[in-house]
């Protein structure tokens, strides 16, 4: 026990509190200036907005995919189920260059989109695609086991009471899986906000337009502007603490309402 | 008992298909949408990597993989994995053991803190080590006097990797060991086994598949970590570049075929990882089922798909 706490403290807690310490050295004036600088605000708007859209897209499709994988039997189902984990196993830099190759104007899909006037790579859309890729498995993997455990009797009861399929889904199944789906959404959002590797290639990195928060921190570090980097990172770190808390609460809720 | 549960489930499933099935049209529409989405998001990027890797002929691919810088990157990546994975495995086992076999104060806080590296942005994970050990960091001057270099050298890369991969093994083992309870250990001790003996002869065999599972995930992430390592590495060719950083450099130098060749190697490892993961997951579910006979399926947290826990990061 002592060893575990020591190891955690040395590796995680002390380094993270260094950031707090460095932020403590900054004056309120400095912090306020950094936060309200147009470049910082634009980066936060892009990171938060992009992550919200990516997590929302993944929630809709994740729910659908979890449903299909649990309820239907079709050739290739097991392979598809295994493949869902790919974004967790694939290094983010590889995902980044591959997505850029696809969605760049010279790429397979980028070319098609370009012809209808949509710029995918080097625009906010490309950032959302990369964020959606890395956070794709979360909703599927949180929803699948709960869906599996739902007793078919409840659905049958709904059917005998005259509910159609859609009513049974919305009134019976959805309430049961809602905590798990929300937990998946929160995890996807938390992952997408902090993502760096896959986004940095496809985003084009134009300050104020396609610059995400982690990249802005990186730029400040490369300029040896540690104070600036700390100020920008502080809000992102606070956000991850909040997300950690939210995810924990949602998971506790999911456990309590798990169908037995 | 298990067979009865299995049979009951089977009966349930068949009854379900008879009474509760969506119309064929809806079913096919949903399956096709799922396949199309996953195909677009997952399979197309995979195909593109291999296609681009061999675009200039296989000689370019081989040359890219055997280049001196590539070999240096492979060596550094292997070194990083060799440092980070064993340490995090020991930590994972120790923390799971402490949390599940003893009653402790502040348990839930510790469990929550273990997850912290998953929710912190990788860039911040790397940055805190610069603030601590960098030339102008808190300990920088002290380290400088003693000529110890951590940032822009392999120790920093190893530290950043350890930070981001810390939770994998612990997260995997805590629910598993919680489900298994303490009875086996108590029996061993009452039969006169010592602490270490109990651990190696009773606990370790019980958790071996969970441990394998966590180690696979930890290794995959340690191999592929980009953001955190990128911050502390300094990008010195042939010296402080891991494989993912090498991919980045080649790509930024417009050596696309070479970049995708190295990326192809990483994709191969990723595919092996998810294949190994499926096999271990299957064994894990079997071992839990065998262990906890008589407990209704839904009450055993570990029987839920292991991926769910992987997703909980």
Residue at A16 is within a domain: no
B244 and B121: one domain? yes
CB-facing half-sphere around the CA of B164: CA atoms within 13 A: 34
B273 and B295: one domain? yes
> B139, B4, B27, B210: which is closest to A77 by C-alpha?
B27
Residue at B10 is within a domain: no
B129 and B260: one domain? yes
Residue at B129 is within a domain: yes
Residue at B7 is within a domain: no
* DSSP reduced 3-state for B180: helix
B27 and B97: one domain? no
B111 and B242: one domain? yes
B148 and B283: one domain? yes
User: Which residues of B are less than 8 Å from A8 in CB distance?
Assistant: 91, 95, 110, 113-114, 166
Q: Which residue has the higher pLDDT, B120 or A156?
A: B120
B221-272 per-position pLDDT tens digit: 999 999 999 999 988 887 889 999 999 999 999 999 999 999 999 999 999 9
Number of folded domains in chain B? 2
- Highest mean pLDDT: which range of A112-116, B144-148, B243-247: B243-247
Instruction: Name the residue among B110, B115, B132 with its Cβ closest to that of A244.
Output: B115
- Structure tokens given for B11: 């009966």
pLDDT of residue A20: 84
Rounded to an integer, what distance in angstroms lies between the CA atom of residue B310 and that of residue B118? 11
Residue at B64 is within a domain: yes
B65 and B112: one domain? yes
Q: Which among B23, B123, B259 is the top mutation candidate for probing chain A, defined by the most A β-carbons within 10 Å of its own β-carbon?
A: B123
Q: Is the ipTM of this complex over 0.90?
A: no
B42 and B72: one domain? no
Cβ atoms B229, B244 nearer than 8 A: yes
Number of folded domains in chain A? 1
Is B111 a residue whose pLDDT tops 90? no
Rounded to an integer, what distance in angstroms lies between the CA atom of residue B284 and that of residue B93? 16
Rounded to an integer, what distance in angstroms lies between the CA atom of residue A184 and that of residue A178? 10
Residue at A108 is within a domain: yes
> A68, A58, A67: which is closest to A176 by C-alpha?
A67
Q: Whole domain around residue A80: which residue ranges?
A: 29-256
User: Which residues of A are less than 8 Å from B121 in CB distance?
Assistant: 193-196, 213-214, 217, 233, 236-237, 240
Q: Whole domain around residue B31: which residue ranges?
A: 18-53
Residue at A3 is within a domain: no
pLDDT of residue A1: 66
Restricting to A residues 52-91, those with a Cβ less than 8 Å away from any Cβ of B are 61, 64-65, 67-69, 72, 74, 76, 80, 82-91
Q: Is B177 touching A (CB cutoff 8 A)?
A: no
B212 and B287: one domain? yes
B112 and B123: one domain? yes
Name the band, by pLDDT with cuts 50, 70 and 90, for residue B294. Answer: very low
A22-35 per-position pLDDT tens digit: 888 888 888 888 88
Restricting to A residues 85-144, those with a Cβ less than 8 Å away from any Cβ of B are 85-95, 97-99, 101-102, 107-109, 132-133, 136-138, 140-142, 144
Residue at A6 is within a domain: no
Nearest chain B alpha carbon to A150: B298
Rounded to an integer, what distance in angstroms lies between the CA atom of residue B228 and that of residue A164? 51
B164 and B295: one domain? yes
Residue at B134 is within a domain: yes
Could you tell me the CATH number of the domain that includes residue B82? 1.10.3720.10
Could you tell me the CATH number of the domain that includes residue A221? 1.10.3720.10
pTM over 0.90: no
B127 and B164: one domain? yes
Cβ atoms A128, A54 nearer than 8 A: yes
Residue at B8 is within a domain: no
Quick one: CA dihedral B238, B240, B244, B249, positive or negative? negative
- Structure tokens given for B144: 């400088």
Residue at B78 is within a domain: yes
Rounded to an integer, what distance in angstroms lies between the CA atom of residue B54 and that of residue A42? 39
């Amino acid at each position: 026990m002592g060893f575990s706490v020591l190891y955690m403290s040395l590796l995680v807690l002390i380094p993270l509190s260094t950031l707090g310490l460095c932020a403590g050295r900054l004056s309120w004036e400095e912090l306020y200036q950094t936060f309200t600088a147009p470049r910082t605000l634009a980066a936060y708007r892009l990171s938060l907005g992009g992550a919200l859209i990516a997590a929302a897209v993944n929630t809709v499709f994740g729910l659908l995919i979890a449903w299909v994988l649990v309820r239907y039997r079709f050739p290739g189902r097991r392979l598809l189920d295994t493949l869902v984990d790919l974004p967790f196993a694939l290094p983010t830099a590889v995902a980044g260059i591959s997505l850029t190759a696809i969605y760049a104007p010279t790429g397979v899909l980028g070319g098609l989109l370009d012809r209808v006037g949509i710029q995918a790579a080097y625009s906010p859309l490309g950032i959302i695609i990369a964020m959606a890729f890395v956070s794709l498995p979360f909703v599927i993997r949180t929803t699948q086991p709960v869906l599996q455990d739902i007793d078919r009797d409840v659905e049958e009861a709904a059917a005998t009471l005259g509910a159609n399929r859609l009513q049974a889904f919305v009134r019976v199944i959805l309430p049961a899986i809602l905590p798990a789906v929300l937990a998946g959404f929160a995890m996807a959002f938390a992952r997408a906000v902090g993502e760096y590797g896959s986004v940095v290639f496809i985003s084009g990195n134009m300050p104020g337009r396609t610059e995400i928060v982690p990249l802005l921190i990186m730029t400040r570090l490369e300029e040896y502007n540690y104070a600036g980097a700390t100020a920008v990172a502080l809000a992102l770190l606070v956000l991850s603490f909040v997300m950690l808390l939210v995810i924990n609460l949602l998971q506790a809720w999911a456990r309590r309402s798990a169908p037995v | 008992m298990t067979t009865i549960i299995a049979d009951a489930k089977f009966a349930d499933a068949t009854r379900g298909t008879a009474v509760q099935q969506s119309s064929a049209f809806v079913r096919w529409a949903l399956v096709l949408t799922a396949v199309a989405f996953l195909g677009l998001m997952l399979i197309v990027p995979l195909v593109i990597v291999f296609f681009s890797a061999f675009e200039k002929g296989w000689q370019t691919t081989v040359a890219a993989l055997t280049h001196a810088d590539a070999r240096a990157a492979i060596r550094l990546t292997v070194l990083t994995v060799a440092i980070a994975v064993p340490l995090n495995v020991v930590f994972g086992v120790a923390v799971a053991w402490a949390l599940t076999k003893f009653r402790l104060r502040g348990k839930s806080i510790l469990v929550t803190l273990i997850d912290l590296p998953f929710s912190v942005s990788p860039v911040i994970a790397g940055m805190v080590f610069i603030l601590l050990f960098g030339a102008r960091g808190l300990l920088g001057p002290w380290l400088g006097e003693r000529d110890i270099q951590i940032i822009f050298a392999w120790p920093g890369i190893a530290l950043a990797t350890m930070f981001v991969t810390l939770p994998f093994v612990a997260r995997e083992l805590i629910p598993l060991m919680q489900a298994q309870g303490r009875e086996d250990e108590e029996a061993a001790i009452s039969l006169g086994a010592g602490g270490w003996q109990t651990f190696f002869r009773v606990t370790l065999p019980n958790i071996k598949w969970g441990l394998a599972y966590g180690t696979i995930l930890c290794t995959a992430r340690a191999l592929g970590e980009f953001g955190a390592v990128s911050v502390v590495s300094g990008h010195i060719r042939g010296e402080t570049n891991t494989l993912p950083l090498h991919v980045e450099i080649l790509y930024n130098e417009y050596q696309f075929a070479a970049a995708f060749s190295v990326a192809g190697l990483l994709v191969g490892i990723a595919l092996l990882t998810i294949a190994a993961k499926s096999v271990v997951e299957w064994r894990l579910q079997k071992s839990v089922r065998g262990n906890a006979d008589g407990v209704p399926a839904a009450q055993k947290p570990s029987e839920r798909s292991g991926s769910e826990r992987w997703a909980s990061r």
